[in-house]
Amino acid sequence: VSTQSTGSSGINAEYGGLQAKLKNMLGIPMFLECENVVHRYRLGEIDASSFARIFRMLLGPHQNRFLEILEELIVLLPDIPKQNSLYNILTEWPHNLASCSVCHQVVKKVELSFHSTHAAHDFNINDYSDYRTRN
């Protein structure tokens, strides 16, 4: 799943891990279709609901892993408003994500306390627009 580099080797490694997981699970042709859908979502060509519906369909026989993969994808998206749009549709399913009350970045629930403390102390509370690229 294609994303922009955030300058963090840890996040880039996670992107690579998700890409490898999808390639192995789906094969190259369906992986490329998934990449296309992610790209269209990031460009604003499709909304979060459409993205989720199409992405789930592309998983084919692996639809039982939809929530797991969607959670990984949401956390790794560098665009916080896009993260939140997808996060908001997760209310239909039990999930392991939370939105930071400080910067609104979507993170894993187990990382929320550390993330929120870090965000509150390290950044001007009035400017979180580039939080993902600074972290």
Q: What is the pLDDT of residues 54-112, one digit of tens each?
A: 999 999 999 999 999 999 999 999 899 999 999 998 877 778 898 888 888 898 888 88
Mean pLDDT of the chain: 81
Q: What is the pLDDT of residues 19-52, one digit of tens each?
A: 999 999 999 999 999 999 999 999 999 999 999 9
- Phi, psi dihedrals of residue 106, rounded to the nearest 5°: -90, 125
Q: Quote the pTM value.
A: 0.74
Listed residue (111, 47, 41) closest to 75, CA to CA: 111
Reduce the secondary structure of 61-128 to three states and give it as a string.
Answer: HHHHHHHHHHHHHHHHCCCHHHHHHHHHHHHHCCCCEEECCCCCCEEEHHHHHHHHHHHHHHCCCCCC
**Predicted pLDDT of residue 110:** 86
Give yes or no for residue 10 having a pLDDT over 70.
Answer: no
Listed residue (114, 31, 29, 119) closest to 69, CA to CA: 31
